[in-house]
Amino acid sequence: MASRRGSSTWQGSARGDPIWDLWPDAAMTGPWETVDAGSLGGVTPGGAPRSAKGSPMAARLVRWLRRHRGRVALVGLTGAAAVLLAIVALRPTATPSTPPPAGQPSFTYETSWTFPELTRALGSGEVVAISVAAPDSALMGPGGTESAAGLLVAKTTNGSLVPVRAGVPTDQAIDALRALGYDRLLTREALDAQAGTPADGSAPNAYLALGLTLLVTGLFVVIMMRLYRPRSAEDGSRWRSVGGGRREDGAEGYRPKVRLADVAGVDEAKLELTETIEFLRAPARFAAVGAKPVRGVLLYGPPGTGKTMLAKAVAAEASVPFFAASGSDFVEKFVGVGASRIRSLFRSARKAGKGVVFIDEIDAIAKRRGGLNSHDEREQTLNQLLVELDGFGPNENVVVIGATNRLDVLDAALLRPGRFGRKVHVPLPDKEDRLEILTVHADGKPLAGTVDLAAVARKTYGFSGAMLADLLNEAAILCARDDRAEIGPDDVQRGWLKVAVGSSRVRSMDERERSIIAAHEAGHAVCGLLVGERRRVEEISLYQHGDALGITVSSSEDNDLPAESDLRARLVALMGGRVAEELLFSEVTGGASNDFEQATSLATTMVSRLGMGRDPEDRERGATGRGVLSAFVVGDGHEGREALPTDVGAAQARASRAILDEAYARARELLLERMDLLGAVAAYLYEQERMTGDDLEAIHAGALGPADPYGWRHVSAKPRAWEDIGPLFTTTPKIELVAPAGPALPVLDRRRPGRSNRLRRAIPRPVHRILREIVRRIEVEGPAPTDGEDTAPST
């Protein structure tokens, strides 16, 4: 095949390929090297015979890989064949000691040139390429100045190779040729020699490329093994241990140090677990009388009540290993993995002979089957758990304890006798239990003598054991922050406030906001003080807590059975903030949005769940005096609301609105009557920015007061003149907290549409309401006295 740079014939090259493009990587690197690429074939120049397995395309690919060695390591990512090809092509080879086989050209150096002779040949066009070959000491002769990088070799137009004795190092000779403008004739070997790469084919970057290829291939294999790990249930257990990243002793069991004496406030639950402890200590005593011990115990209750501590205490008191896991540890995307972990957990417990298996948040795997959120992995895990609960032998003294705060969502098969047949309720602590819990957590903390834990227990109704522990811990942190030796009452108060409503933040506010917020919180506090027989105001503050710009926090006595008057008093206290803004300023703000949300929710609960509402438009009072609403009560949320008749839903809305209106009117009445107390509390709060329940009671008793009771309302808040507030009292109707039920009104006969019913339909509804109220007042109070009759003074 003819070439524009010379003439020769090469097998394995495509038509039109320049010979010199294939020459430098093979012939010009020194002795001819045969690359054995298996099925890729060999490369033979000069019409030599090819291997039977040779392939022109494979030969070109091998030559390309050799040309780009050092940049071909990432080729291994495309497949196993390319990885092997890259390793073969990049393998360094030694110079063969035997003569080249037949069919390969034997290159001989017939003469040599000096550097000036080379430049003359270049000028005449006789030289077509310049490369570097391995140095030949015989040709260089004594005193040769060529460097170890190789010997400069020129290729002529007739195909001869002529060594060049430049008399200077090879890299300097190449610099001179590049300066003369012969860059296009320099081969890659010449450029590598100028850069300092040896010309014998054993370049360090070949070893580097080989190492990088092996490293990338190894990483690729590891990633694929991690990605496509075995999906079977048995193999899955060998990949990850039970617990999914939990501590190692969870799968082998460990000995907890928590005792029953360390768990305070749950005496009934501890009593229920006593027989479980006795079974683990002396199982023979139960077997002697034919008793089957309870092997499954389910602890349920609100969060933070001590369910996990109780389970640890059972294992500690019985001196058996404790195997802990969480329900989420068994939830995986691969079907069968959760069931495998269940088997592994119970296998470890059986191997120990005795033990307590504790599964926290068991509702994660034991939800009721067949729902919308059910899937095969969860159901298979639950089925395996049920099988393990039934599979204990007579000599396997293992107790399973589960904990959840969602007993209502558990599957019925899990709760039947023989599995989790013993259900122990762990409720929120009462006042005595809270005092006991506070005493336990106060041990080791330097409390001042003035700290009253009984008072703290009284005002923490609704707190769990974890919240009480956090309360004292926050108090200790505040004490350490101020670098004091004892925890004082103020530290405990601030710790209680932080746990109840969150951290406080002092923000900058202008005089308008300061005045309005002080009046708003004073309205809550005064209404809560005047109507809250079972509630006590504990803290009033202008500091921001969460999204609230100011707070008024009240505590309640233990009252699990609230009366209607208690709930209505709570509504009055909620309405006091907006009413105070309305009375003291000419316009109201949006600060009462959260108050209205809470009030609406409470009023709706009173009507729809507690049966405490009455439709003001319902004339049929019924046996309970509440009309049709007394017979329609729905549960939590919106369950059952869809089944209610339309008129009943509208009646519930009207009843809720009536309750809210009464609470608002009552709050306005109270604040108008005690305007002096409202102004004093607001002024004191404006000056101090924070006050306690004791300060509020002192102001109410006259023992404490503000420095300026009238100048706290800033003009930018648009305050109402004090003399204009009084006339509002005369226009506000007095409404009792709980309106007394009057006598039933006569019911019209709706079966016979007579003249009365036709007249009733003709009268507009507002007018009809007014007439009905007039009739009711006449029946209750009697007719108005005529002129000349004696009238008793009204009280």
Nearest to 399 by CA among 492, 328, 296: 296
The per-residue b/e assignment along 346-378, b for 16 or more CB within 10 angstroms, e otherwise, is: bebbbeeebbbbbbbbbbbbbbbeeeeeeeebb
| Cβ neighbours for 373, distance < 8 A, ≥ 6 positions apart | 367
Amino acid at 256: P
**Catalytic, out of 521, 538, 581, 582:** 521
Rounded alpha-carbon distances, angstroms, from residue 132 to 27, 498, 622 = 11, 82, 115
- Residues 679/685/691/692 CA torsion (nearest 10 deg): 20
Instruction: List the one residue out of 68, 100, 101, 98 whose CA is nearest residue 86.
Output: 68
Whether 657 contacts 668, CB under 8 Å: no
* Among 527, 514, 644, 489, residue whose Cα is nearest residue 585: 514
Helices 188-195 and 170-179 sit at what angle, rounded to 10 degrees?
120
The owner of tokens 């098969």 is 413
Examine the residue annotation and report whether 126 is marked as an active-site residue of this protein: no
Cα-to-chain-centroid distance, residue 513: 36
DSSP state of 95: P
CA distance 162 to 112: 5
- Which residues touch 75 (CB under 8 Å, ≥6 apart)? 65, 82, 83, 85, 86, 213
Q: At 247, give phi and psi (nearest 5°).
A: -60, 155
Residue 777 makes CB contacts below 8 A (sequence gap 6+) with: none
The sheet with strand 161-165 has its strands ordered as: 113-114, 161-165, 151-156, 127-133
Distances (CA, A) of 115 to 142, 166, 181, 528: 18, 5, 15, 109
Amino acid symbol at 67: R
The count of other CB atoms within 10 Å of the CB of residue 655 is 25
Contact 264, 465 (CB under 8 A): yes
> Cα 768 to the chain's mean position, in Å?
58
The C-alpha atoms of residue 130 and residue 312 are separated, in whole angstroms, by 84
Alpha-carbon distances, residue 745 vs 527, 588, 741, 782 (angstroms): 35, 40, 11, 15
- List, as one string, the DSSP characters of 231-256: -SHHHHHHHS-TTSSS-THHHH-B--
Nearest to 488 by CA among 472, 503, 505: 472
Residue 596 one-letter amino acid: F
Rounded Cα–Cα distance for residues 678 and 194 (Å):
95
Distances from the Cα of 487 to the Cα of 87, 455, 466, 679, angstroms: 73, 15, 19, 35
Whether the Cβ atoms of residue 697 and residue 609 lie closer than 8 Å to each other:
no
Judge contact between 791 and 785, C-beta under 8 A.
yes
- The residues near 790 (Cβ < 8 Å, ≥ 6 apart) are none
Residue in the structure block whose two tokens are 């003819």: 2
Tokens of 141: 């002769």
DSSP 423: E
CA atoms within 13 A on the CB side of 727: 4
Q: Is 383 exposed, middle or buried, given 0-12, 13-18 or 19+ CB atoms closer than 10 A?
A: middle
- Which backbone phi and psi does 401 adopt, to 5 degrees? -120, 125
Four-point Cα dihedral 603, 606, 611, 613, nearest 10:
-30
- Catalytic residue numbers read 521
